Amino acid sequence: MLYSLLLVFLLPALGIPFVYFGGKKSSKIAASIVALIAIINIALVLTTVPTILNSANHMYIEEYAWIPVLNSHFTLFVDGISVSIAIIAMVLIVAAALFSIKYMEGKKNLPVYYVLLSLLSVGLVGVFLTSNLLLFYFCWELMLLPAYFIIGSWGYRESYRAAFKFFIFTHAGAVFVLLGIGAIYMITGTTDLFAAQTALLSFPELAKWIIIALTAGFAVKMAIVPLHMWLPDAHSEAPATMSALLSGVIISAGAYAILRLSLGAVFPAVAGTEFGTSFLHGLAVFGVISAFFGAFIALVENDIKRIIAYSSIAHMGYVLFGLSLYPSEPLIGGALAITTAITGTVFHILTHAVSKGLLFLSAGAVMHQTELRDIREMGGLAGKMPFTSTSAIIAGLSIAGSPPFACFISEFLIFVGAFDIIRTNSFYLVPTILMLLATVFSLAYSLRFVYRIFIAPPKPGTTLDGNEKHKITDVPNSMKIAMLILIIFVVLLGVYPAFFINLINTVGFI
Amino acid sequence: MVGIFDVAFPIVSLIAFSLLTIPVLRGIRKTGYKTALTLVWFAIAFSVAFAAVANLALQYYALPSPQPFLSISLSDSSLSWLSSVFMIDGISVYMAIMFTTVCAVVMIYSLFYVDPSKRPSERYYAIMLMLTAAVIGAVFSGDLLTLFIFWEAAAAGSSFLMLYKKNRSSLNATLKYIVMIVIASAFIVFGLSLVYGITGTLNFWAVKEALTVLADKTLLILAFIFIAAGYAIEAAIVPFHFWLPDAYGAAPSSTAAFLSAVIDQGSYYVLIRVLIFILVPTAVLDWTLMLAVMAAFTMIVGNLFALIQKNVKILIGYICVADVGYNLVAITSLTSDGLRANLYFFLIGGITTALAFMAVGIINHYGFKTLKDFSGIGRKMPLASLALLMAALSFAGMPPFGGFIAKYMVFTSAIEANLAWLAVIGVLMSVVQVAYLFRLVNYMYGKKPKDEVRIKEPIKLLIPVFILAGTIIILGLFPQIVLNLIEPVIRQLPFIP
């Protein structure tokens, strides 16, 4: 459809006044407008799917004039990968908006909250929809600001401190991205992703520095150890809806950016060289470190949201490990090389987004109903909050990688791809075994999480132990609907992954 | 054909309006419609000035082939190279348009900030118009002496604006400022006399041509050091920057806004003119490395001092210093991208600092001065805080505000000129900038205020503030609007290969 991507871009921005004045009446209206716009956007993005599946280059591109002097055009493009992530991102926005109605009830300045949510959705979705590096950076930073204010103003405890940390860390990462983008523009004279990819092929020396700057910048957003320090605070202090979006989409945007920019645009210039191979090996090492670091701390952490936050670090470790399996041979002429491992990695971004979103919403529901956050004080909530516990168990099992839930398929694909590569590159043997080991840990912390909160009897003497004053009930319906949407996706991606996997496989040529 | 009348008209008309302002405002004060009539008076003044500048721009670009230097001499004799000369080229037209526009907005703010019904305010406005005229005169001057005269008039004249409050701290700061300006002018005059001795002329292109063929450059280097030091003092380049934060901090906010948007930014014009158009590098003098080092120090010192600053207004003064550093990076790169970046940064930097000073001025008015006072101000004064927040974000280089595109262009031009180390320093300092700006934001929105009383904000003062804030967003989203104006300038660069 003509202009459909432009509309996806503009609708949330144009909706802001309606959201604000609707929100002044009741937050229900504001939330519904945000959700409605996201649903319309999903429909609009879906209209590009036939083009992606059927056209020769499997892309859908819209181009508008923007800053000709800087050779920058307002290029909106989707291919199989970006369309899948954009859809999942908008699903999470729908869920977050619906969840907010009751979750945020009684808080101050709610119209502003919903305005920030729609502003956030512009950036969140925009990152995946453009092939212009400058516009990409625009959206990349546009995610930051609303997130800062949402975490700061509506978070828990020392929320502004956490938001500040989040902002400084990710912005420091972003300026390196900017440096990389500026260098690409200066070397190639273009800010278009695909033109830059071809032009960079003749500058392998400079490409080294660019790929390092870009990847380091994106790794901060992805919270790869040792650049992860912002994540536990930001995720745990943010309101649950924001945590779901942070963990589901914002850190995944880092992974997407590494795939699209570092590996897709710059890597071909260094592919086949010694540097290129060691770069990929480096990604694998950092992936393994993150996976273990996150999993270990998640095992011993007692704060309900910090467990999930550290689990996000672990899962970004998986994603980075998956990205490191990118084919190191020089491949000319394609946007991205898709192997089983890369398909699995992109799919893991999707499955992790919905599962982690669901887990954060469930944790938010628990905190909302019990006003507790230390899991040692909880227990036996399964009987009192059956719906929340079901969703948490589904999400937890998915995170642990057990079939038939979403993350199983994606982790399985990553490992199949890894074993495929081990046959030609023995370096990956040790990391792959270690990553398999790490899945055991993720099962361990997921089970501990679910068992401690929902199944185990509450410890004697805690507030939940037989105290009739604290009548804990399950969450209201609107929150249930939000969680139900994500449950559907977690199950659907697990039992019928074909739709997204087919889309992802249209990109590239292996 | 562009004549002497076209060039002199904006300057002369502004001076005439300035002289008439005092009696007119006194007359208006006696009538019943003070605010309305005052507004009408300044609307007339600025429409005339704007029409004059627009006329000049149109006339210039209507020429069959706009020459890089179109000179208009005051005397047609054979001694024209000795006489005072006006000069028009792309850059001066661009600067004149921008200065007139920004001055008009700052004037609206001053009209409500400095109460026009109180006694000496008419002088304040008169001096402001006069300074605008002087800056435009400096922009159009075609020889070093005319430039010097107009420029000193603007720089020294601003001390009257600083003194408006007549309290101890402003007296102190003004004194410091005047001493610095006097030292600076002494340096410049000495340097100019050397240049005159070497070349026998002060006319821009005559000087340039004479210097290009100059064999022994020792004296020239000496002259350059003096002139550079003089203008470095006025542009507040580290290590000559220390007067600026004090002066801006002590001045009334409308003055600080005017100074940062017009006088401070005008000093870049002088730097660009002298460094890029006269002392053309490699042909005349290679000053790039020296300036690159100064740029690095200016960014580092400006940002680090801002980091430890407690008073918000002085903090913004240090941001002005840091901004000078970013501008120098662009000048140093010596590329067409660099000059484009510089001209864009100059505009955005000027608007943003003016916006910040205006917003802080509104907040200061209620007695909130230090970071601690700013606790929770976001809830007490939401609109003024929003404006300050937007300025902070633009300083920090966050999209979609103008500061982002400006910084992006500055850094890319540094990379293009093989000054990647300077770009890296700039980027790292940009992170420092984000740190202290977000500490401010943190105080404004994150901390609890002493009391929850909401302050009724002065809507009239907020109108010019939000005009500037809107401009920043529009220029951030559609930089093409201004970049199109800059394009003719780029084509006139002397060093374009």
The answer to whether the Cβ–Cβ distance between A153 and B447 falls below 8 Å is no
Alpha helices (runs of H) in B141-203, residue ranges in sequence order: 144-162, 168-199
Q: What is the pLDDT of residue A469?
A: 53
**Residue A257 tokens, joined:** 């950016």
CB contacts < 8 A (A, B): 89
Check residue A353 and give left, alpha or beta (phi > 0: left; psi -120 to 50: alpha): alpha
Mutation choice for B interface testing from A66, A67, A69 by most B CBs within 10 A: A69
Gap from A428 CA to chain B (nearest CA, Å) = 34
Residue B467 confidence (pLDDT): 92
Q: What is the mean pLDDT of chain A?
A: 89
Rounded Cα distance between A247 and A352, Å, is: 9
Which of B410, B425, B436, B442 has the highest number of chain A CBs within 10 A, making it the mutation to test binding with A? Answer: B442
Contacts of A160 in chain B (CB under 8 A): 442, 445-447
State the nearest Cα–Cα gap between B340 and chain A, in angstroms.
10
* Chain B residues with CB-CB distance to A181 below 8 A: 408
Contact B416/A67, CB-based, under 8 Å?
A: no
**pLDDT at position B352:** 93
User: Which pLDDT does position B1 carry in this prediction?
Assistant: 65
User: Which DSSP symbol is given to B214?
Assistant: -
Q: Which of A486, A479, A309, A458 minimizes the C-alpha distance to A382?
A: A458
**Contact status of B474 with chain A (Cβ, < 8 Å):** no
pLDDT of residue B315: 92
Question: pLDDT-based confidence at A109, cuts 50/70/90?
Answer: confident
CA distance B326 to chain A (A): 15
Taking the Cβ of residue B398 and every Cβ of chain A, the question of whether any pair is shorter than 8 Å is answered with yes
Contact A183 B415 (CB under 8 A): yes
Residue A161 forms contact with B (CB below 8 Å): yes
B34/A contact by beta carbon, under 8 A: no
Residue range A283-305: average pLDDT? 93
Q: How far is A69 from chain B (nearest CA, A)?
A: 7
Q: Quick check: A67 and B405 CB within 8 A? A: yes
Low-confidence ranges of chain B (pLDDT < 70): 1, 74-83, 494-497
Instruction: Taking the CA atoms of A150, A151, A157 and A162 in sequence, report the sign of the dihedral they define.
Output: negative
Residues B413 and B330 sit within 8 Å (Cβ to Cβ): yes
Q: What are phi and psi of A59, to 5 degrees?
A: -140, 160
CA distance A71 to chain B (A): 11
Which residue among B400, B431, B445 sits closest to A172, beta carbon to beta carbon? B431
Nearest CA to CA, how far is A292 from chain B (Å)? 30
Looking at chain A, which residue has its C-alpha nearest residue B413? A186
Q: Which chain A positions have a beta carbon within 8 Å of B436's beta carbon?
A: none
Distance CA(A178)–CA(A181), nearest Å, equals: 5
List the single best residue of B335, B441, B481 to mutate versus A (max A Cβ within 10 A).
B441
A387-404 pLDDT, tens digit per residue, is 999 999 999 999 998 888
The nearest alpha carbon in chain A to B407 belongs to: A178
Q: What one-character DSSP code corresponds to residue A79? A: E
pLDDT for res A56: 81
Per-position b or e across B34-58, b if 16+ CB within 10 A of its CB: eeebbbebbeebbebbbebbeebbe
For residues A129 and A82, the answer to whether their CB atoms sit within 8 Å is: yes
Q: Look at residue B360 in the predicted model and tell me its pLDDT.
A: 93
Chain B neighbours among A 8-67 (CB < 8 Å)?
A: 66-67
Among A96-100, A128-132, A172-176, A381-385, the least confident range: A381-385
pLDDT at A332: 59
In angstroms, what separates the C-alpha of B145 from chain A's closest C-alpha? 36
Do B399 and A142 lie within an 8 Å CB cutoff?
Answer: yes
**A179 contact B CB<8A:** yes
Cβ-Cβ contacts under 8 Å, B478 against chain A: 66-67
Interface test with B, best of A10, A20, A64, A70 (most B CBs within 10 A): A70
* Separation of alpha carbons B35 and B57, rounded Å: 32
Q: Chain B residues with CB inside 8 Å of A137's CB?
A: 399, 408
Of B420, B445, B480, the CB nearest to A67: B480
B432 touches chain A (CB under 8 A): no
> Is B264 in contact with B235 (CB distance < 8 Å)?
yes
* Any B CB within 8 A of A141 CB: yes
Using an 8 Å CB-CB cutoff, list chain B residues near A68.
Answer: 480
Q: Is the pLDDT of residue A199 over 60?
A: yes
Which of the four pLDDT bands, split at 50, 70 and 90, describes residue A273? confident
For chain A, the distance separating the N- and C-terminal CA atoms, rounded to the nearest angstrom, is 29
Q: Mutating which of A164, A171, A205, A214 best tests the B interface, going by the most B Cβ atoms within 10 A?
A: A171
DSSP tag of A107 = -
Q: Looking at the partner chain, which of B398, B408, B480 has a beta carbon nearest the beta carbon of A145?
A: B398
Best interface-test mutation with A: which of B415, B429, B473, B477 has the largest number of A CBs within 10 A? B415
Which positions in chain A touch B491 (Cβ < 8 Å)?
none
Per DSSP, the residues of B45-67 read HHHHHHHHHHHHHHHHHHSSS--
Question: What's the pLDDT score for residue A510?
Answer: 44
| Helices (H), ranges, A251-303 | 251-257, 267-270, 274-300
Tell me the whole-structure pTM to 2 decimals. Answer: 0.91
Residue A76, strand partner residues: A62, A130
| Site from B419, B431, B491 to mutate, A interface, most A CB atoms within 10 angstroms | B431
Query: What part of B 433-462 touches A (C-beta under 8 Å)?
Result: 434-435, 438-439, 442, 445-447
DSSP 8-state class, residue B311: B
**Could you identify the residue written with the tokens 């609707």?**
A22
CB contact under 8 A, A152 and B445: yes
Which two tokens mark B160?
């009257």
Q: What is the pLDDT of residues A420-451, one digit of tens each?
A: 889 888 899 999 999 999 999 999 999 999 99
Buried b (16+ CB within 10 A) or exposed e, A340-362: bbbbbbbbbbbbbbbbbbbbbbb
- From residue A46, give the alpha-carbon distance in Å to each of A78, A79, A482, A494, B257: 11, 11, 21, 21, 50
The pLDDT assigned to B80 comes to 57
Confidence band for A220, pLDDT divided at 50, 70 and 90: very high
Contacting residues of A for B434, CB less than 8 Å apart: 167-168, 171-172
Inspect the interface and report whether the beta carbons of B445 and A141 lie closer than 8 Å: no
Would you state the structure tokens that stand for residue B387, as one six-digit string? 């404006």
Residue contact A182–B424, C-beta within 8 A: no
**Cβ-based contacts of B340 with chain A (< 8 Å):** 69
Which helix (H) or strand (E) segment holds residue A61: the answer is: strand A59-67
Q: What is the 3-state secondary structure (H, E, C) of A298-332?
A: HHHCCEHHHHHHHHHHHHHHHHHHHHHCCCCCCCC
* Nearest Cα residue in chain A from B389: A145
pLDDT at A191 over 60: yes
Tens digit of each residue's pLDDT (9 = 90 or more) over B257-293: 998 888 888 888 888 888 888 877 777 777 888 888 9
What's residue A69's pLDDT?
A: 81
Q: Is the omega angle on the peptide bond into residue A457 within 30 degrees of 0, that is, cis? A: no
pLDDT (average), residues A289-309? 92
Residues A69, B340: C-beta atoms closer than 8 Å: yes
What is the rounded CA–CA span in Å between residue A326 and residue A346? 12
> What burial class does residue A469 get, using C-beta atoms within 10 Å of its C-beta: 0-12 exposed, 13-18 middle, 19+ buried?
exposed
Pick the residue from chain B with its C-alpha nearest to A165: B435
Percent of chain A with pLDDT strictly greater than 90: 52
Burial label, A54 (beta-carbon count in 10 A; 0-12, 13-18, 19+): exposed
Nearest to A442 by CA among A322, A343, A316: A316
Per-residue pLDDT at A63: 86
Where are the domains positioned within chain B? 298-497
Judged on CB neighbours under 10 Å (0-12, 13-18, 19+), A424 is exposed
